Amino acid sequence: MQIGFAIFNGLTVGMSIFLVASGITLIFGMLRILNISHGSFFMIGAYLAYTIVGTEPDSVIGLAGGALAAALAMAVLGLVINVAVFRRLRDVGEAYSLIATFALLMVCNGLVKAVWGVNYHSVSAPEALAGAISYGGFFAPIYSIAIIGLGVLVFLVLEIVIHRSPVGKIVRAIAHDPWMSNLVGINTPLVYALVVMAAFFLAGLAGGLLLPNQSVTPQLFESYLLQSFMVVIIGGLGNIRGAFLGAIMLGMIEGLNFLFLPRLPGILIYVVLIGFLLWRPQGLFWQPGAQTSDQHEVMTGGVPSSFPPRATKTRIAIGVVLAAVVLSLPEWANQGLLFIVGFALAEAVLALSWNLLFGYAGLATFGHAAFFALGAYLVGFMLRDGGGVPFLVLLAASALVGAASALIVGFVALRRTSGIALGILTLSLGEILRRVINYTPELGSDDGLSGIPRPVVELGLFSVDLTSERAYFWFLAASCGLIALALWAYTLSRNGRILVTMRQDPTRAEFLGIDVRRHRLYAFVLSGAIASLTGGLYAPWAQIVTPDAASYLHSTQPMLNTLLGGSGFFWGPVVGSAIFSALGYATRTFAGLSELISGAVLILVVLAAPGGILGLGAKFGRLRRRRAPTAPDVPAMQRSAP
């Protein structure tokens, strides 16, 4: 009986997810854009419907009417988003389009917080749906039956339209080959717009109809986002049948999880997802054209230089001034600013380590925060409860743990996946870690590890007391600076040149005798080690580490920093993290505003300046230089010989 109930509940969850996942599937199937923001549009739909129907809809018609109104509004919004954003994402690389939709997610979430506030609302089901049907001791809430029915209905409609109608032939023709479809006279832009509108309509409809099923909060997007992603990946990107089966599977797995692992809710699905990605990265159903090549990615954002630059006076001066400003901060800045800068330094190094993979090795991962969290929890836990292991040993251990876990993950992941699958795989691993931490009381569960003491470093003859904020800030700033410089040197050496060679043309790299897989793994390990070490440095600074450190939201921070600053420049991530931190600091008192602005800035960067801020600067620099008489260009690399 319990099993029956679990299955029924699972189905309800699965069908709810399917309503969102079907929209993601439609958009990916046609436009090859994995719309990360879809969960947020679902949330906006829910808020709109909530605004219309209030907390106690009096009838089924009222609820349905509200949902329909929300759905129509979302369809219009979809049209706008399609013109303003999606249409422009055709010419940018896969990773960039993922990041742009993530930026949309930030804008949506910021908007929701700004318009509706951060409070929690709940909507009750209208009376007609509130009861339950019982049959031989088995209870099924009518509302759940209605959701399951709706899910099946939506599936049937989509199935018939896509696979069994003349319209479907055209739609699938575009999915197979948009270029040729255009040449046979099909108005593909129109079809794209209609598909996006349909997907958004479904998101709005689901948002409205599922109102009684959950509380309406600005976090609503999250569960639907991740779960519908899983459904889409398991089913095979862009395949509606796959998404339907995937949704049912997800529901069943959640049910099993509830039965057998009640202490770790939601973790089984990640395990299954990872198994899936490694076993069948293309999902249950293969969708033609779903695997996108990494060739296109190559030049978006530019390739960072891997040859040592000339040490001009200006460059040295900039470095010295920046170092002086940062190191003198404790003397003049207030505590709030000091904290933000320390935080920004750690984020900057984390972003540098991510860009080693993205900008240099050409690998986009979405779970980088997991390494950071590993280091942070290791050092934080040991400082608090570990009984006197020297701090420097802890830092070394955090780097080693990061390297070792990156070695294991990279060895398996890089062998089996690339592109989107690699992104989702790393994202899932990060979420698993977050959940494990979340349900481990020894690590403080949800509340995190608080009261982490700052250490005193014993160096034999003398000791350095880092317990004061000033002292630890200096230590943190110096460490981050050293790590960044060491990494810079690495990228300017023969190893860096191997990385940019692989990124620009893996095949050419192979035919230069570079074992691409092995060198990608090296980069992965180095990047993981640095991320983890940064976490270790960060823990005593913040004195608290929460499971959010491992969340996918945190994983996206290095990406945002990198793209904003410019992935084609070593120092791009640092610039980006400075700007994002400043933005966050300036807008800290307005709920949602920082997300809104950050998201909007990011979309602009991706659409208008894929080289980031430094890329823009370089462009203007080139223009100026072109006008000025050109100085004879001595090859920079010829000056120094080892």
Partner 1 sequence: MLEIQGLDAFYGASHVLQNLSFTVPAAGRVSVLGRNGAGKSTLMKSIMNAGPRVRGRLALDGRDLARIPSFRRARLGLSLVPEDRRIFPHITVVDNMTISAAAAGERVALQPERLLSMFPMLQPLRARYGSQLSGGQQQMLAVARGIAPNPKFLLLDEPTEGLAPVIVDQLATAIVQLCDMLGTGLLLSEQNIWFARRCTSRVHILESGRLVFEGSWPEFDSDPDIKQRYLSV
Partner 2 sequence: MIECRNIHKSYGAIAVLKGISISVAQGETFALIGPNGAGKTTFFKVLTGETPANSGSILFKGEEISRLNASARVHRGFGRTFQVARILPGNTVLENLVIAVEARLRNQGHRSGFGLAPGREIVEEAASMARRTDLDDKLHQLASFLSHGDRKRLELGITLSLRPSVLMMDEPTAGMSPSDRRQTIDIILKLRAEEKLTILLTEHDMDVVFGLSDRIMVMNQGEPVAVGTIGEIRTNAAVREIYLGQDDHDA
- Residues of the shown chain interacting with partner 1 in the complex, contacts defined by CB under 8 A: 169-170, 172-173, 176-177, 179-189, 288
Residue 361, phi then psi, degrees to nearest 5? -95, -10
* Residue placing its CB nearer to partner 2 in the complex, 508 or 588: 508
Helices (DSSP H) in 261-368: which residue ranges?
Answer: 268-279, 313-332, 335-355
Question: If binding is defined by CB under 8 A, does position 59 make contact with partner 2?
Answer: no
Q: Does 504 bind partner 2 (CB under 8 A)?
A: yes
Which among partner 2, partner 1, none contacts residue 176 (Cβ within 5 to 8 A by kind)?
Answer: partner 1
Q: Would you give the binding string for partner 2 spanning residues 296-335, x where CB under 8 A is met?
A: --xx--xx---xx---------------------------
Nearer to partner 2 among residue 173 and residue 514 (C-beta):
514
Q: Does 633 bind partner 2 (CB under 8 A)?
A: yes
Work out whether 294 is an interface residue with partner 2 (CB under 8 A).
Answer: no
The one among 211, 433, 492, 537 contacting partner 2 by CB under 8 A: 492
Determine if 356 is a binding residue for partner 2 (CB under 8 A): no
Burial 473-495 (b: 16+ CB within 10 A, else e): bbbbbebbbebbeebeebbbeeb
Q: Does residue 609 touch partner 2 according to CB under 8 A?
A: no
Measured CA to CA, the distance from residue 225 to residue 556 in angstroms comes to: 14
HSE-CB at 220 with a 13 A cutoff on CA atoms is 36
Binding site partner of 384, from partner 2, partner 1, none, Cβ cut-off 5-8 A by kind:
none
Residue 295 sits in the site that holds partner 2 (CB under 8 A): no
- In the complex with partner 1, the residue whose CB is nearer, 9 or 188, is 188
Interatomic CA distance for residues 639 and 476, integer angstroms = 34
Minimum Å gap between C-beta 505 and partner 2 is: 5
Instruction: Determine, following the binding rule CB under 8 A, whether residue 522 of this chain makes contact with partner 2.
Output: no
Pair 499, 523: CB distance under 8 Å = yes
Pick 90 or 415: Cβ nearer partner 1: 90
Q: Which does 189 bind (CB under 5 to 8 A by kind): partner 2, partner 1, none?
A: partner 1
Least CB distance from residue 159 to partner 1, whole Å? 15
Nearer to partner 2, 130 or 489 (CB): 489
Out of 136, 137, 511, 626, the residue judged to bind partner 2 by CB under 8 A: 511
Instruction: Tell me which of partner 1, partner 2, none is bound by residue 308, counting a contact when its beta carbon lies within the kind-specific cut-off of 5 to 8 angstroms.
Output: partner 2
State the binding partner of 152 from partner 2, partner 1, none, CB within 5 to 8 A by kind: none
**Looking at 84-92, 419-427, 463-471, 507-515, which segment touches partner 2 (CB under 8 A)?**
507-515
Pick the closer one to partner 1 by CB: 508 or 588.
508
In SS3 terms, 577-626 reads as HHHHHHHHHHCCCCCCHHHHHHHHHHHHHHHHCCCHHHHHHHHHHHHHHH
Alpha helix positions (H), 261-312: 268-279
CB-based contacts of 273-279 (< 8 A; 24+ apart in sequence): 273/230, 273/233, 273/234, 273/424, 273/428, 274/425, 274/428, 274/429, 274/432, 276/233, 276/234, 277/233, 277/416, 277/417, 277/421, 277/424, 277/425, 277/428, 278/412, 278/413, 278/416, 278/417, 278/425
> Residue 330 to residues 320, 327, 335, 337, 347: CA-CA distances in angstroms?
17, 7, 8, 9, 19
Site mask, partner 2, residues 452-491, x = CB under 8 A? -------------------------------------x--
* Whole-number Cα distances in Å, 110 to 12, 43, 607: 29, 12, 20
Number of residues that bind partner 2 (CB under 8 A): 35
Work out how close the CB of 609 gets to partner 1 at its nearest, in angstroms, rounded to a whole number.
18
256 or 298, CB closer to partner 1?
Answer: 298
Least distance (Å) between residue 166 CB and partner 1: 9
612 part of the interface to partner 2, by CB under 8 A: no
Longest dimension (CA), the chain: 90
Q: Which residues, at least 6 apart from 506, have a Cβ–Cβ distance to it below 8 Å?
A: 294, 362, 516
> For residue 158, what are the contacts with CB-CB under 8 A and spacing of at least 6?
22, 26, 240
**Residue 5: CA count within 13 A, CB half-sphere:** 12
516 binds partner 2 (CB under 8 A): yes
| Sole residue written with tokens 């509940």 | 9
Give the separation between CA 82 and CA 74, rounded to whole angstroms.
12
Q: Smallest distance from the beta carbon of 25 to partner 1, in angstroms?
A: 17
CB of 175 to partner 1, least distance (A): 9
State in angstroms the smallest separation of the CB of 610 from partner 1: 15
Assign 233 to helix, strand or coil. helix
Which is closer to partner 2, CB of 159 or CB of 505?
505
Shortest Cβ distance from residue 584 to partner 2 (Å)?
Answer: 33
Give the separation between CA 71 and CA 150, rounded to whole angstroms. 14
Contact partner at residue 510 from partner 2, partner 1, none, CB < 5 to 8 Å by partner kind: partner 2
- In the bound complex, what is the minimum distance in angstroms from residue 172's beta carbon to partner 1? 5
Q: Which of these, 624, 499, 483, 625, lies nearest to 567 by C-alpha position?
A: 499
Phi and psi of 633, rounded to 5°?
-95, 105
Given the rule CB under 8 A, which residues bind partner 2?
298-299, 302-303, 307-308, 489, 492-494, 497-498, 500-501, 504-505, 507-516, 633, 635-642
